[in-house]
Amino acid sequence: MAHGIVVKTRTASTEVDAYNRPAVAGSAVNLDNGNVFRLDTQSGSAGYAEVWDVSAPSGSTVLSGLWMAASPERVITVSGTYEFANIDPDPRNFYNIGGKVFDAFKPVAGDILLLTSDAISGSPSTGDYVCAGSGVYQLAWSATQTASALAMKILKETSYAIGSGAIGGTSVLAYKLQVLAN
């Protein structure tokens, strides 16, 4: 299974530190980059004073003010009790492991993002919008902009190059999106 990739092409979070937070999801919740969630409370766990607890978006009134997972793609390979980083160079094999701290940012209106197709549920044939949904972390294609929710509009279909160490490599389907509301 390929995991989503997000590229913060032009985002306010690169200039405004308040739009960046360390976050942690429950141990049973693995999140792809590009997944969205709420960060309403700071963790009460020892040693996690500056870390925020992840909760799924729920209900129509809390689908705005969401945050997005966007950690550097550092693929962890597990062998027995050992963990090795970056043996696998394919960023599609990366995800944020439940119970471990990861990077999150707050998308704001005007931000431009690149998301691979694996980060979005459904098909762009549904419509030109990508919106948050209740009870799910993954964004989904929509025919209309969802009112009072994180919503993006497709600017263009493109690709994301995946290095393989060989000449040529490969690319995957991606979408350049503009955040309309959050």
Burial of 72 (0-12, 13-18, 19+ CB in 10 A): exposed
- Terminal Cα-to-Cα distance of the chain (whole angstroms): 29
Each residue's pLDDT tens digit, 57-91: 987 668 999 999 999 988 888 888 988 888 888 89
Each residue's pLDDT tens digit, 130-145: 999 999 999 999 999 9
Domain ranges, ordered by start, for the chain? 6-181
Mean pLDDT score of the chain: 92
